[in-house]
Amino acid sequence: MRVLGVETSCDETAAAVVEDGRRILAQTVASQVTTHAQFGGVVPEVASRQHVRDITRVVERTLEDAGLTWDHLDGIAVTCGPGLLGALLVGISAAKGYALATGLPLVGVHHIAGHVAAAFLDADEATASTEGDPGPATAARPHGGLLEPPVLALVVSGGHTEILDVDEAFHFRRLGGTKDDAAGEAYDKVARMVGLSYPGGPKVDELAGQGDPQAFSFPRAMLEEGLDFSFSGLKSAVAGEVERQRRSGGLRVADVCASFQQAVVDVLVEKAARAMRETGRRTLVVAGGVAANRGLRAALAARAAADGFEVRFPPVRLCTDNAAMIAAAGCVLLARGRCDPLTLNAHAQLSLDAWQSGRV
Ligand code: KG4
Ligand code: ZN
């Protein structure tokens, strides 16, 4: 089964063709990062307009790179939420147009289900066309062998921090999540506080490697209990410390980044390990933009070895937003007979439960 995936939920216009939910035949990511950087963050209206400008070319180039025509495809998968409403609508409208013109079945994919599906792609097969900002380089081969559910998933991105149980049928059950900011959001806000440009997460990650993680003691909210997260207190504590240092004449950027990162990583690792213990799952999948974080990767790998579970990270390029993950999830859904009508709509807010049960 070959599925075209389309992803436009935020600031990447992306398309990919994936075979059997595993093999990436081609993918294109047109990043808008340099456009939004001048505004310090994603400007929704600008994102939508750029998606409109790019989407047709991105899809056509992807098919061309794969050496395929529409006749070779079995379905179209598109991110239907959550995300920026105007941005989502561009991808959905394009996907619906293609579905109508070709008669191919259409399926709407929850963005988080897509991030998790990235872990099931065969990283060795991945080829990519990247336009604009190339983003982080491909990581070394992260694992051997193809992954099968059930797994536990830690999804850490700019918009989400969630722990999900994923059963054999690729059905999601939310075990915990953030009460306020997402981990990536906290990274981006701290980056801005210390004067780093958008998107700040990778820059904080890099500077953290040069600083002392014990330099400042930042709060680790709700560390001792449950599977929920809160990062707003940490963000405020960093803001207070940065302000204090600025007043006293010198900001220790690397030490602030390292101490902040340590606080985030400690909480993510502790909660993920607790969820593994409580569910008895054997494999943890880490997905979303923050899964690219070097500190998190190292700490989770160490904890997995100590606690006796397996941890898998998609290659860095598949951790941030892309369409291969949407196509991969689409393959699973279409194979299970799920198909959406041409009335499929975009949802800025969309819970996994509402999406799974088809209540949207
Ligand atoms: O998954 P993603 O591409 O988009 C969303 O769905 O949100 O994640 C983007 C987020 C941003 O907040 C970015 O700062 C963060 O992931 N991020 C990182 C790293 N690379 C990306 N955060 C920490 N360390 C990194 N290396
Ligand atoms: Zn994402």
**Interval 218-272: pLDDT, tens:** 999 999 999 999 999 999 999 999 999 999 989 999 999 999 999 999 999 999 9
Amino acid 175: pLDDT: 98
CA 290 to centroid of ligand 1, rounded, Å: 5
Phi, psi of 80 (to 5 degrees): -110, 0
Hey, which of 110, 130, 157 would you mutate to test ligand 1's pocket, going by the most ligand atoms within 8 Å of its Cβ? 157
Q: Which of 190, 178, 151, 182 shows the shortest CA–CA distance to 167?
A: 151
Q: Which of 143, 140, 96, 138 shows the shortest CA–CA distance to 284?
A: 143
> What residue's CA is closest to ligand 1, atom 3?
320
Per-10-residue mean pLDDT of the chain, 360 residues long, equals 97 96 95 89 92 98 98 98 97 98 98 94 60 40 64 95 95 96 95 92 97 97 95 97 95 98 98 98 95 96 97 90 96 94 97 90
The ligand 1 site (C-beta within 6 Å) comprises: 10, 157-159, 184, 187-188, 199-202, 205, 288-290, 292-293, 320-321
pLDDT digit string, tens, across residues 194-213: 999 888 999 999 999 999 99
Distance between CA 66 and CA 3 in Å, rounded?
A: 12
- pTM of full prediction above 0.75: yes
Do the beta carbons of residue 235 and residue 200 sit within 8 Å?
A: no
Phi, psi of 165 (to 5 degrees): -95, 130
CA 131 to centroid of ligand 1, rounded, Å: 18
Q: How far is CA 240 from the centre of its chain?
A: 29
Hey, which of 190, 285, 290 would you mutate to test ligand 1's pocket, going by the most ligand atoms within 8 Å of its Cβ? 290
Q: Which amino acid is at 127?
A: T
Q: Which atom of ligand 1 is nearest to the CA of 199?
A: 14
Amino acid 154: pLDDT: 98
Amino acid 186: pLDDT: 96
CA 71 to centroid of ligand 2, rounded, Å: 30
> What residue's CA is closest to ligand 1, atom 14?
201
